[in-house]
């Protein structure tokens, strides 16, 4: 199963992608997570990406496309994958199509996790992330078992640099301008489905699983 998760920053893509990865035993490929890992390790890519991410801007396509298309050729992607945060622009989607054409593969489903800007702004200030394993929580709706501590690895949770309210606002603007056009792109291909991302995360997950079940039946 090859799945793309679309949706605004904070809509819940990462939350749903992790659940999908576990259920279907396919890798969760998050370009945001890849960049954050590079920033943490001080790589050249990380240094370049941080410049854009901290301003709420997209990292230039040329830095993203190769990274992902190479990742998709790895052995663990043979059975499928869930893409979270890629593609994010029309040129990225076109580059993905070209890469898939080469191997005769196709995306089974592009799922939009839908949430209003207002719901997102309310949510983002409550997000806490694990800087070590990448798990995400919400202080009210999806809290860790022990306050401020990651359930998986015991690290201290942080507020992401780009979750400051003014940066969230910019990320939403960028989403509407550059990423939202992908909804029509995948609708035209007949593979777009939309789920409500504002309800309980487990309920949203059930909706996604039902959609995928219907596709693979």
Give the catalytic positions in this structure: 13, 88, 127, 160, 171
> What is the number of other CB atoms lying within 10 angstroms of the CB of residue 175?
21
From 38-46, 74-82, 86-94, 183-191, give the range in contact with ligand AP5 by CB under 6 A.
86-94
Nearer to ligand AP5, 100 or 216 (CB): 100
Q: Which does 204 bind (CB under 5 to 8 A by kind): Mg ion, ligand AP5, none?
A: ligand AP5
- Which residues is 25 bridged to in the sheet? none
* DSSP string covering 94-124: HHHHHHHHHHT----EEEEEE--HHHHHHHH
Q: Which is nearer to Mg ion, 14 or 109 (CB)?
A: 14
Cis peptide before 104 (omega within 30 of 0): no
Q: Does 58 bind ligand AP5 (CB under 6 A)?
A: yes
Question: At which residue do the structure tokens 């949510």 appear?
Answer: 123
* CA dist 127 → 22, 37, 57, 95, 146 (Å): 21, 18, 19, 32, 15
Question: Residue 134, interface with ligand AP5 (CB under 6 A)?
Answer: no
Q: Interface with ligand AP5 includes 208 (CB under 6 A)? A: no
Is residue 52 at the binding interface for ligand AP5, with CB under 6 A as the rule? yes
Q: Establish if 10 lies at the interface with Mg ion (CB under 5 A).
A: no
- Binding to ligand AP5 by residue 205, rule CB under 6 A? no
Instruction: State which H helix or E strand residue 19 sits in.
Output: helix 13-24
Output the six-digit token pair for 64.
């993203």
Instruction: In angstroms, give the least distance from the CB of 120 to ligand AP5.
Output: 8
Cα gap 77→26, rounded to integer Å: 7
> Which range, of 71-79, 100-108, 132-140, 149-157, touches ligand AP5 by CB under 6 A?
132-140
Count of Cβ atoms closer than 10 Å to residue 213 Cβ: 9
Closest separation between CB of residue 110 and Mg ion, Å?
16
- What lies within 8 Å, CB to CB, of 66 at 6+ separation is none
Residues 98-117 that bind ligand AP5 (CB under 6 A): none
Residue 14, interface with Mg ion (CB under 5 A)?
yes
Tokens 């199963």 -> residue:
1
Residue 186 interacts with, from ligand AP5, Mg ion, none (CB under 5-8 Å by kind): none
Point out which residues bind ligand AP5 (CB under 6 A): 7, 9-15, 30-32, 35, 52-53, 57-59, 64, 85-86, 88, 92, 123, 126-127, 136-138, 141-142, 162, 171, 197, 200-201, 204
């Amino acid at each position: 199963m090859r799945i793309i998760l679309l949706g605004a920053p904070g809509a819940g893509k990462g939350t749903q992608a992790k659940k999908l990865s576990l259920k279907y035993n396919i890798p969760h490929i998050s370009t945001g997570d890849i960049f954050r890992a590079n920033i943490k390790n001080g790589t050249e890519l990380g240094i370049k990406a941080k410049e854009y991410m901290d301003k709420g801007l997209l990292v230039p396509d040329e830095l993203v496309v190769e990274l992902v298309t190479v990742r998709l050729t790895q052995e663990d992607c043979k059975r499928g994958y869930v893409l979270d945060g890629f593609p994010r622009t029309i040129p990225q989607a076109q580059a993905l199509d070209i890469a898939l054409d080469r191997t005769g593969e196709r995306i089974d489903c592009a799922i939009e996790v839908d949430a209003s800007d207002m719901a997102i702004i309310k949510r983002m200030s409550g997000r806490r992330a694990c800087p070590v394993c990448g798990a995400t929580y919400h202080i009210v709706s999806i809290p860790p078992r022990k306050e401020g501590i990651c359930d998986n690895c015991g690290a201290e949770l942080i507020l992401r640099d780009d979750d400051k309210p003014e940066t969230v606002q910019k990320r939403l603007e960028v989403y509407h301008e550059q990423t939202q056009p992908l909804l029509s792109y995948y609708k035209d291909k007949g593979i777009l489905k939309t789920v409500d991302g504002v309800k309980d995360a487990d309920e949203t997950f059930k909706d996604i699983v039902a959609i995928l079940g219907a596709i693979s039946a």
